[in-house]
Structure 1
Amino acid sequence: MVRKRKSGAVLAVADEPMSSNPYICHSCKRCARKRKTRYLPQDIVFQFLSRLPAQLLHDVVRHVCREWSLVIRSPNFIHHHLRNSTGGLIVQDQHSPRNGFYVEMRRGCLEICNFDCGFDGLVWSSCNGLVVFSALNNFNTLYVSNPLTKQKTNLPPYRTRKGDYSALGIALVEASMKYKVVHARGKYFFPNQIAVLTIGLDKVWRHINVKHLLLPNESLVICWPLVTGGYVHWMSEYIVLTLNVETEIVRRFPVPPIPNVRGKYLAMDSHLSFVYNSDECHMDVWQMNSITGEWTLLLSFDSKPLIHTFKGMFPEFSNSVRPLCWLVARKVLVFSDDLDRRCWIAYDVKASLVQLFEFNKDESYHFRAHVNSLVWLK
């Protein structure tokens, strides 16, 4: 039997014996008895599967046949699929973190789906689909997991002193393809030490002292670090500390050259960005070179459609709208109102298009930038 497209083009026909090629998808038993195999070329199958969402591949497609399952589990496919994947957000209810939402932009439209993280803990940082999280009510018990595949591994315990504040990040060293978890801690929100652990290699944490990078009477507030490629950043009103996860060297960089800096630092692919209101109707985006610390003005965009949307939804709106994260780097920003977090807005800064998404206003939500992937540790 030959299946044709409406145009009449033949999909594939073969009258040869069954092949041992692991990428061939065999047809039904009836055709097999006739020693006929209908298949698509290996490269077409590879490219077709790589364009499907990771959740669909894991939940459905890998169960279609053994050959497709082998393709989907191959390291080359996982790496290729990750490179072509778009980012999104994991949104968790802080009181019930296991069942959350995954928000992403596909074909120019917002897609929101229910998402079972597979663990009862809040995601603190994410890299290439892997997340680091702690057990509920026990910050010293740390794990790395892929929330999609539900694979999980324990990290060596990291004991914090009473009164210490902690912040976690996870990043990839591309040269070795090893992942590292970074842990900053300090008294009264001021970091005095950064600890690093290579997943799968280290049994104990290595410590990096950063006190020498701070001037006398200068302190850096411990915030949740922003991970951009192979770099982890901590920011304050006056400086940026940047850790190169490959060399494990921390450098001190200046903030953007803007008078009276007031804005939001956001991770933007492999760059640290800074978004701020240049005037009542415009916002500027600055981008930092993680090697040199040099800041450049990347783009400016009209914020009037965004402000008008918030004013229409919230009559009490008083310019408290803040950017939360990049949903699509350099293109789509997510905003919310500091006074009312029940509604979030995805704003296309180039096309000035607004898309809304809402959650239950009675809940308290925690979010982290994330990309669904099939990546796991070797």
Structure 2
Amino acid sequence: MEIDVGNITREVLYGPLSQGLVRAFLDHVLSHSLAVCGQLGSTKNLPHSRGKKDLIETSELNYYLKHEVMSSCNGLVLETKDNTTIDLYITNPATKQRFALPPFMTNGAPFSYAIAYVAASMEYKVVRTVIPGFDVFKAGEYKRDDCVVVLTVGVDKDWTRRVRIQHLCSKARNLLFRQNPLTTDGFVHWVWDDYSEYVLTLNLETEIITPFLVPTCLPRHEGYTKLMYRYLPMGKYLSLLVDVTRFSWEVWKMKPESGEWTKMFNIDLEPEFASSLYCVLTPLGWLKFGEELIFSVRRVNGKGNKRYNSYCTRICIAYNVRRREYEPFELAPNLDSFLVHRNSLVWLDGC
């Protein structure tokens, strides 16, 4: 289905749309022009995009992000403000609309969050995970079996709908507390970039968490040469990049419905960067649903494990998978955390 974005007005976008039209609109806009990365926990968001001449263009959002950005979906970002209560907001930076979610009290426990769109019900859902720390479970306010909660935006008035995790083994359950979750279309994933046997995937339509095994044939190293397993959302798939060397990767993708893994291709930038003794490349996010991968160039700081003992520079590169070419570009300094974001005019029906 092809659509003329110019003929879709803001008023139409704010009204109820069919699932097919919403998907067609997002696919058209997102695959052609939108953002890739910005800083977490900052009032600045510096995305870059492909312009009409297919060149990298950098721009600053014209919206002041007031709080820490935790997640993004279809142009909507999830912001959190941590005081004696936790205040969460869904914001569309392109339209400057903002919607407050039900707040909740906290005893100092840290949380992770994710927002995703459920196509079957045409609803947005927010997932909250309690991260164990400061003896949060010993305090009795939160229990290990009740640490994952789902809220349907515009429907639920409190955070009481818990996701069952009792069926998970301890090794799989520990993934809930390792890193901030990732989202693909209608799914939330808990992963660990230091390698784990599992990926935990929450189907937001059924609200069931399933542990999926990672490919058993992945290369494994130990000690300082241990490989980085980097998980990144890639459209409707979860991708996994295994850095075989500082400048080469195996790229895999997983179907979130079944946990089926497929090896896609290898990326080899050794010929171009092998002489760069004091830098490493870190994958940040995908453009055009897997056609292009953005890397940050990190400077190695002294000796030791280059994966951890490094810092970001201003330089990033955009690698085109099909053409096997890369293009360097610059971002503002001191950007160390990145989040894939897609500009759109989408808003929440009824909010």
Q: Which TM-score bucket, shorter chain as reference?
A: 0.7 to 0.9
1:212 is paired with a residue of what secondary structure?
coil
Structure 1 residues 208 and 281, CA, compared in 2 at 3 Å: closer, same or farther? closer
Q: Write the distance in 2 (CA, Å) between the matches of 1:284 and 1:101.
A: 28
Residue 233 of structure 1 deviates from its aligned partner by 0.2
- The answer to whether the 8 A contact 2:36-2:286 is kept is no
- The answer to whether the 8 A contact 2:38-2:46 is kept is yes
Amino acid at match of 1:119: L
- The answer to whether the 8 A contact 2:168-2:211 is kept is yes
Residue 165 of structure 1 deviates from its aligned partner by 2.9
Q: Write the distance in 2 (CA, Å) between the matches of 1:218 and 1:333.
A: 30
2:167 is paired with a residue of what secondary structure?
helix
CA RMSD after TM alignment: 3.0
More strand by share: 1
Aligned length, in residue pairs: 308
Structure-1-length-normalised TM-score: 0.72
Aligned residue runs from structure 1 range 1-378, under 5 A = 47=4, 49=6, 80-86=24-30, 87-92=34-39, 94=41, 96-97=42-43, 99-106=44-51, 107-135=53-81, 140-162=86-108, 164-188=109-133, 193-205=147-159, 206-215=161-170, 219-220=174-175, 221-236=177-192, 237-257=196-216, 258-260=218-220, 262-278=228-244, 282-304=248-270, 307=273, 311=276, 316-317=278-279, 320-336=280-296, 337=298, 338-361=310-333, 363-378=334-349
Residue 325 of structure 1 deviates from its aligned partner by 1.2
Structure 1 residues 93 and 357, CA, compared in 2 at 3 Å: closer, same or farther? farther
Q: Write the distance in 1 (CA, Å) between the matches of 2:10 and 2:184.
A: 32
Q: Write the distance in 2 (CA, Å) between the matches of 1:306 and 1:117.
A: 38
Q: Write the distance in 2 (CA, Å) between the matches of 1:82 and 1:216.
A: 37
1:333 is paired with a residue of what secondary structure?
strand
Structure 1 residues 140 and 305, CA, compared in 2 at 3 Å: closer, same or farther? farther
2:26 is paired with a residue of what secondary structure?
helix
Structure 1 residues 307 and 276, CA, compared in 2 at 3 Å: closer, same or farther? farther
Q: Write the distance in 2 (CA, Å) between the matches of 1:93 and 1:227.
A: 16
Amino acid at match of 1:183: R
Q: Tell me, which stretches of 5 or more residues in structure 2 are unaligned?
A: 138-143, 221-226, 299-309
Identity %: 34
Structure-2-length-normalised TM-score: 0.78
Residue 263 of structure 1 deviates from its aligned partner by 2.0
- The answer to whether the 8 A contact 2:94-2:345 is kept is yes
Q: Tell me, which stretches of 5 or more residues in structure 1 are unaligned?
A: 1-43, 51-56, 58-67
Residue 187 of structure 1 deviates from its aligned partner by 0.9
| CA displacement, residues 219-242 of structure 1 (integer Å, 9 cap, x when unaligned) | 324311110101100013221110
Structure 1 residues 137 and 218, CA, compared in 2 at 3 Å: closer, same or farther? closer
Q: Write the distance in 1 (CA, Å) between the matches of 2:100 and 2:37.
A: 21
Residue 331 of structure 1 deviates from its aligned partner by 1.8
Q: Write the distance in 1 (CA, Å) between the matches of 2:258 and 2:40.
A: 38
| CA displacement, residues 234-262 of structure 1 (integer Å, 9 cap, x when unaligned) | 01322111000011000111123214263
1:207 is paired with a residue of what secondary structure?
coil
Q: Which has the higher contact order (CA 8 A, sep 6+)?
A: 2
- The answer to whether the 8 A contact 1:306-1:347 is kept is no
Residue 124 of structure 1 deviates from its aligned partner by 0.9
Q: Write the distance in 2 (CA, Å) between the matches of 1:138 and 1:373.
A: 33
